[in-house]
Amino acid sequence: MEEMQTQINEIATELSEIDAGIKAADELLESSNALMASATAGTAYAKVLLASSNALIKSSNAEIESAILEEKLLLEEMNEIQKQIDETKAYRAETDKYWEDLISKEIQKRNKCHHGRS
């Protein structure tokens, strides 16, 4: 009977060790589950940040495209103004030449009249 008691005690000890191993495995599993939940939350947060970043990039691209278009329109307007300035300068040069020629002819006429009287 003592031998049986020893075997029962050995089995009880083994069962106790198995129970301790199961408890340790359960604790490790709970810790792993907590880490997995944290990692999942971190991934979800990263996805939210990525979506926000993508939205900001799209918004920035739209602003850049708008600025480029505005710059293009302003350059076209500036070129049109410069063209008008050049046309005005050419017209002014023609007008000045016309008046200078007219004045020169008038001076020549007057000089001829004065020479004819002398």
Q: How confident is the model at residue 113 (pLDDT cuts 50, 70, 90)?
A: confident
Determine the Cα–Cα distance for residues 35 and 64; give it in Å rounded to an integer.
42
Q: For 53-110, how does the pLDDT look when each residue is reduced to its tens digit (9 = 90+)? A: 999 999 999 999 999 999 999 999 999 999 999 999 999 999 999 999 999 999 998 8
Q: How confident is the model at residue 112 (pLDDT cuts 50, 70, 90)?
A: confident
Determine the Cα–Cα distance for residues 63 and 58; give it in Å rounded to an integer.
9
Determine the Cα–Cα distance for residues 102 and 108; give it in Å rounded to an integer.
10
Read off the tokens for 67.
């600025």
Q: For 4-29, how does the pLDDT look when each residue is reduced to its tens digit (9 = 90+)? A: 889 899 999 999 999 999 999 999 99
Determine the Cα–Cα distance for residues 2 and 62; give it in Å rounded to an integer.
89
Residue with tokens 């063209």: 83
